[in-house]
Amino acid sequence: MNLSMKWLKDYVDIAPDAKDFSEKMTMSGSKVEGWETEGAEIKNVVVGKVLSVVPHQNSDHLVVCQVEVGQDAPVQIVTGASNVVPGAMVPVALDGSTLPGGVKIKKGKLRGEVSNGMMCSLGELGLTQGDFPYAIEDGIFLLEEECVPGQDIKEVLGLDDTSVEFEITSNRPDCLSVLGLAREAAATYHVPLKWNPPVVKGSGDNIENYLKVKVDAPDLCPRYMARVVKNVKIGPSPRWMRERLRASGVRPINNLVDITNYVMLELGQPLHAFDLRYIEGNSITVRRAREAETIVTLDGVERTLNPNMLVISDTAKAVAVAGVMGGEYSGIMEDTQTVVFESACFNGPSVRLTAKALGMRTDASARYEKGLRSESCPESLERMCQLVEELGCGEVVDGVIDVDNADHTPDTVKLEVEWINKFLGIDLSREEMVNTLESLGFALEGDTIIAPYYRIDIHHKADIAEEVARIYGYDKIPTSVMSGIARGEVTPYQQFERTLGQTMLSLGCSEIMTYSFISPKYYDNINLPADHPLRGSVVISNPLGEDTSIMRTTTLPSMMETLARNYNNRNPWFWCYEIGREYHPVEGQPLPDERKQLTIGLYGNEADFYTVKGMAQTLLDVLRIREVEFLPCTDHPTFHAGRCAVLEKDGVQIGILGEVCPKVLGNYRIGVRVYLAKLDCAALYAAQKEEMIYHPLPKYPASTRDLSLVCDNALPIAQVEKAIRAGAGKILEKLELFDVYRGDQVGKDQKSVSYSLVLRKADGTLTDQDCDNAVAKALKKLEEIGVSLRQ
């Protein structure tokens, strides 16, 4: 909403500068986004009187003019315009002047002739023909205003208004008007509002001779009012009206159209003017559109309607989409003679849906959407007619059509002074509160507050508290510290997640954040078969694009995207992790199961399978999750079938890790090996049972035995270790694999594995016998699975 300060001053006696006004209005609830002084960019442009015009000697299309600009001597200006004649008054941008759009004018030579500035067109001054209808668009602006040479052009053209831009919240559609903001300004500055209800003289005759109105859909049109103006004289509106429209950001068109726009800006009520000629049968019916009914709207587009939409129709066809836009052939034209002014109240949600469905949000629809009250119809209609009479552009026919099915019960709230004071933490008297409310247009009957019709947002005592608070000033409300009990606890789960993050950082992985929505194609990229259950995702019905159209059921493609991007950006290596959600649809439930995953992704910096496995092991160790089995996994489509393991704890899968399948790497165009791990946070958290307990430091020395073993190449190392642990028993403190060898020294399809065993007793010194026994038992267990001591 752009507010003309000149216009505002019609209704409130204040003369603040724009900054003070902006601050005070913002603090009382009408947020100012900024302000602009008209013609601020125009400097050193004055009125010039053309004294002579002679052809340029070296040019066919240039002329050399002597122009009187209020200085001691006339100045010479060269121009290519053909409409300059001696005696004309023109705007002259002198040497060193500026024009809108940052244009700077300096003196120079044009084909050898000195030119001391420039004569300006409408466009060069940031104006249009709408602002000065007598001027032409392509030529110098020949002034018809009262003026003298040397006078500042801004003064002559009325370019001295300040336009203040407001951000109006959706609960205050009444402030989308000059009067609404004037009312706020009056309350803010504690001055009275100057507003006189419009009075129309009329010219006799009777509206019934011209028009009949019928409302078939009172649910969508609670009130429809109309008046008729005859003997209309279409022409430009007066300069003051054009200036105000311009300052409000509306282009002047002609007097009748300008009046509808002017009153809409002034009072906030959308209004429409029809040419009676095109209303067949002189009869208006407000009805639901028929299925597939069409209308060509003012913008020349044919629109297809449906019965959820409301139209204004004559006996033959729809002439307007109610509250949205008029039809092409019913608007005001140069030769219009009789005009119907419409001032109606339409159902907000219906207008909103219609505008949305037709893809045409207009100034009118935007206002109706917010919920206008039927009580604003008569005043706006009368105001239009008053202006018609003032401007002398037509005769207002007596009589008003008013089809009124609206409920006029005002909103009321009980005034609870004590409650408001307590709620806000202030101490105002009843009188102070009442004064504030009255200044905003509220009335009081005893303790009952009656909201003015234009306030759609008053239903509860909290709403009254806000009115009181904002006019009193939020800044005057004291600050206090809350009393009462407060815990401020970090839950065990939150602590667990912190530990996860901290551990990953210490392991050298940086945290990443990826989008939770992905493209269905991402499942192809990670090689999921067409019938894979993970393809059943939560689907966004109105996505921005395919890339962000479904909620991921796996974090793997997000991680792969990130790694691919880093690889493409030529980062030589990248280790990272994300703690993020997956969204798994649940049969019979409206909401999916949102499962948090720790996803690890590595490439480069010597990462290999055992790097990512080591990270998982370290993580399990930090979380004190023991006895997790790493089992070979050969059937996960994303992973290398020979380099992938699932993590199982007590038979439950808690994660997966491994090298990415070369085919998937190809899909992402990554030229290096990539390692991934995905661990389910809830499963990890549930597995984390062990308490942290101190174990006494050993008192007795340890013995070390090394074992070099030979076994079948295919035998998983985990089984070898299991056998050693089972055999050596509890004196085995530590078991460490230090070498694996395949080659000539051992048989084909065999491998040699070497372990170091640290043996220790908690309650005494180990004897050689103890150690020998333990090793012997271990070897026996190993023998059972075909592992022998290497000779």
Partner 1 sequence: MKEALEQIRTQALSAIAQAENSRAVEDIKVKFLGKKGELTSFLKQMGKLSAEERPVIGQLANQIRSELEQAIAAAQQQLKEKQLQEQIQAETLDVTMPGRKFDLGKKHPLTLVMDEIKEIFLGMGFDVVDGPEVELDYYNFEALNIPKNHPARDTQDTFYITENTLLRTQTSPVQIRTMEQRKPPIRVISPGRVYRSDALDATHSPVFHQIEGLVVDKNITMSDLKGTLELFIKKLYGEDSVVRFRPHHFPFTEPSAETDVMCFACHGKGCRLCKGEGWIEILGAGMVHPKVLENCGIDPEEYSGFAFGMGLERVVMRRFGIDDIRLFFENDKRFLEQF
Of 22-30, 272-280, 387-395, 742-750, the segment contacting partner 1 by CB under 8 A is 22-30
Q: Is 575 in the site for partner 1 (CB under 8 A)?
A: yes
Question: What is the Rg, in whole angstroms, of the alpha carbon atoms belonging to the chain?
Answer: 42
Instruction: Of 163, 184, 188, 164, give the one whose Cα is nearest residue 174.
Output: 184
Q: Shortest Cβ distance from residue 489 to partner 1 (Å)?
A: 6
Instruction: Report the site for partner 1 in 73-92 (rule: CB under 8 A).
Output: none
**Between 20 and 706, CB nearer to partner 1:** 20
**Between 500 and 753, CB nearer to partner 1:** 500
Q: Is 767 in the site for partner 1 (CB under 8 A)?
A: no
**Between 294 and 506, CB nearer to partner 1:** 506
Helix (H, G, I), strand (E, B) or coil at 738: strand
Cα of first residue to Cα of last residue in the chain, in angstroms, is 93
Q: Is 618 in the site for partner 1 (CB under 8 A)?
A: no
Q: Which of 115, 297, 566, 667 binds partner 1 (CB under 8 A)?
A: 566
Burial of 343 (0-12, 13-18, 19+ CB in 10 A): buried
Q: Shortest Cβ distance from residue 163 to partner 1 (Å)?
A: 15
Please state, in angstroms and rounded to a whole number, the distance separating the CA atoms of residues 435 and 488.
43
Q: Which of 15, 73, 292, 482 binds partner 1 (CB under 8 A)?
A: 482
Instruction: Of 426, 304, 288, 315, give the one whose Cα is nearest residue 358.
Output: 304
Q: Shortest Cβ distance from residue 324 to partner 1 (Å)?
A: 15
Please state, in angstroms and rounded to a whole number, the distance separating the CA atoms of residues 125 and 572.
57
Size of residue set near partner 1 by CB under 8 A: 89
Tokens 């019979």, residue located: 588
Q: Shortest Cβ distance from residue 612 to partner 1 (Å)?
A: 14
Q: Is 308 in the site for partner 1 (CB under 8 A)?
A: no
Q: Is 15 in the site for partner 1 (CB under 8 A)?
A: no
Of 215-223, 416-424, 652-660, 693-701, the segment contacting partner 1 by CB under 8 A is 416-424
Which H, E and C letters describe 326-375, residue by residue?
A: EECCCCCCCCCCCEEEEEEECCHHHHHHHHHHHCCCCHHHHHHHCCCCCC
What does the per-residue mask of binding to partner 1 show for 133-172, with x meaning CB under 8 A? ------------------------------------xxxx
Instruction: Of 450, 5, 7, 464, give the one whose Cα is nearest residue 267.
Output: 7
Q: Is 538 in the site for partner 1 (CB under 8 A)?
A: yes
Q: How far is CA 282 from the centre of its chain?
A: 45
Q: Which of 189, 329, 423, 496 binds partner 1 (CB under 8 A)?
A: 423
Q: Shortest Cβ distance from residue 690 to partner 1 (Å)?
A: 25
> What Cα–Cα distance (Å) separates residue 432 from each residue in 163, 412, 789?
33, 19, 98
Residue 582 β-bridge partners: 595
Of 40-48, 214-222, 487-495, 686-694, the segment contacting partner 1 by CB under 8 A is 487-495
Q: Is 488 in the site for partner 1 (CB under 8 A)?
A: yes
Q: Is 516 in the site for partner 1 (CB under 8 A)?
A: yes
Please state, in angstroms and rounded to a whole number, the distance separating the CA atoms of residues 386 and 378.
12
Of 200-208, 490-498, 762-770, 775-783, the segment contacting partner 1 by CB under 8 A is 490-498
Instruction: Report the site for partner 1 in 577-616 (rule: CB under 8 A).
Output: 577, 581, 583, 590-592, 594, 605
Instruction: Report the site for partner 1 in 334-393 (rule: CB under 8 A).
Output: 348-349, 352-353, 369-371
Instruction: Report the site for partner 1 in 454-473 (rule: CB under 8 A).
Output: 457, 460-463, 465-466, 469-470
Q: Is 292 in the site for partner 1 (CB under 8 A)?
A: no
Q: Do the beta carbons of residue 199 and residue 456 sit within 8 Å?
A: no
Q: Shortest Cβ distance from residue 406 to partner 1 (Å)?
A: 19
Q: Which tokens hold the place of 31?
A: 């947020």
HSE-up (13 A, CA, CB side) for residue 650:
8
Instruction: Of 82, 169, 161, 166, give the one whose Cα is nearest residue 119.
Output: 82
Q: Which tokens hold the place of 51?
A: 């004294």
Phi/psi of residue 416, nearest 5 degrees = -120, 90
Q: How many helices (H) and strands (E) does the chain have?
A: 20, 40
Q: Is 66 in the site for partner 1 (CB under 8 A)?
A: no
Q: Shortest Cβ distance from residue 565 to partner 1 (Å)?
A: 6
Q: Is 427 in the site for partner 1 (CB under 8 A)?
A: no
Q: How far is CA 502 from the centre of its chain?
A: 34
**Between 134 and 515, CB nearer to partner 1:** 515
**Between 588 and 764, CB nearer to partner 1:** 588
Phi/psi of residue 445, nearest 5 degrees = -120, 100
**Between 74 and 173, CB nearer to partner 1:** 173
Please state, in angstroms and rounded to a whole number, the distance separating the CA atoms of residues 720 and 753.
9
Q: Shortest Cβ distance from residue 33 to partner 1 (Å)?
A: 8
Q: Shortest Cβ distance from residue 398 to partner 1 (Å)?
A: 38
**Between 171 and 337, CB nearer to partner 1:** 171
Q: Do the beta carbons of residue 132 and residue 89 sit within 8 Å?
A: no
Q: Is 576 in the site for partner 1 (CB under 8 A)?
A: yes
Q: Which tokens hold the place of 418?
A: 């004590």
Q: Which of 477, 672, 717, 785 binds partner 1 (CB under 8 A)?
A: 477
Instruction: Of 537, 541, 539, give the one whose Cα is nearest residue 553.
Output: 537
Please state, in angstroms and rounded to a whole number, the distance separating the CA atoms of residues 517 and 521.
12
What does the per-residue mask of binding to partner 1 show for 23-62, with x meaning CB under 8 A? ---xxxx-x--x----------------------------
Please state, in angstroms and rounded to a whole number, the distance separating the CA atoms of residues 705 and 736.
11
Please state, in angstroms and rounded to a whole number, the distance separating the CA atoms of residues 137 and 78.
19
Q: Shortest Cβ distance from residue 389 to partner 1 (Å)?
A: 36
Q: Which of 87, 192, 307, 543 binds partner 1 (CB under 8 A)?
A: 543
**Between 206 and 571, CB nearer to partner 1:** 571
Q: Is 483 in the site for partner 1 (CB under 8 A)?
A: yes
Q: Is 540 in the site for partner 1 (CB under 8 A)?
A: yes
